[in-house]
Amino acid sequence: MRIGISAIEYYLPEKIIDNDFFEHAKNEFLEQKVGIKERHVAAENEYTSDLAAKAINNLLTKHNIDRNEIEFLVLCTLTPDYILPQTSAQVQTMCELPNSLYSLDIRMGCTGFVHAISIAQSLIAGMGFKKGLVVTADKFSIFLSYKDYNVDTLFSDAGAAVLVERDPKLFEIMDHDFGTDGKGAEHIIIPAGGSRLRISEETSKFEYIKPGVERSKNYLYMNGRQVMKFANATVPVSAGKVMKKTGITMDDIDWVVMHQANKLMLEEIGDRCGIPKEKNYINLWNKGNSISSSIPIAMHELLEKHERCNHGRYWMITGFGFGFTWGATTLKYVGK
């Protein structure tokens, strides 16, 4: 039984912030090294469930999919509307999906899409489902200190929706490689808000770290150098493992779509993996880092361009980030 991806759509909020917004930013560095000119920010009254629902409705409408045939929903988000209930339950109602729906949230970041499609594949293979949705959505702007140049210029709010089913129309899901190293947790973290450190007046106080860096414990902290070091060490190994499982080499691959972290990082990882530059797709310029949505958004762009979409050839997707976690998946293009 072949299981894979039949359709991809996404949603980006209307509000766009370009580099001129950031007084402390060096536009030349952002554009040439980081590779970002613009990022999208959700409206005040636009929530993670809205981003997810709009992506799903785009998918169902554009591809003429009967919502009553959707049997499961795997929603990947780091920014749920509430601690409880789960956001996937809200999205089920918002999108008028069947009450018989199997739904779950997974709390993952930049590796989330790769993990989520493996879960969807397992649900079809192990539970007899025929088709379902993998949805990624984050309103990550609410966790960014706009006084911290390490993070405030990087991220975009976004949602993406992918149809996973038997006898797929675009990609057959082939093999996976995953990894986790919790020792890296301190390098990408929002300290307050969980059971270990609840949000309080104390955690909300902004602390001056150095010029251009002020934040409270309620906002994201990221050690960019350690993240770069981690990604360079794990992604090439993981990519090699998953290609070996599939029995292919880089010559058999048309596109490599990595999590869109930043241009410099993707180019360095690409060099370490032996990925030809023309196969290493980067679309940060007007999207920014959209967390778990970055891979499906990039895949959608490539499919729309229809550049190097050759039947029977392979794509590889790789995610890496918070946790630390990483993952790589090979996909066989079965479209026409």
**Alpha carbons 205 and 230: distance in angstroms, whole number:** 30
Known catalytic membership, residue 300 = no
**Alpha carbons 28 and 142: distance in angstroms, whole number:** 26
Annotated catalytic residue, options 76, 218, 259, 283 = 259
Annotated catalytic residue, options 58, 218, 283, 289 = 289
| Tokens matching residue 328 | 């790589």
**Alpha carbons 15 and 206: distance in angstroms, whole number:** 26
Known catalytic membership, residue 259 = yes
32: which residues sit within 8 A by CB, 6+ positions away? none
Annotated catalytic residue, options 40, 110, 273, 283 = 110
CB-based contact 317:331 (threshold 8 Å): yes
Q: How many CB atoms lie within 10 A of CB 129?
A: 19
- In SS3 terms, 111-148 reads as CHHHHHHHHHHHHHHHHCCCEEEEEEEECHHHHCCCCE
| Tokens matching residue 304 | 């729309």
Known catalytic membership, residue 24 = no
**Alpha carbons 224 and 253: distance in angstroms, whole number:** 29
Catalytic residues: 110, 259, 289
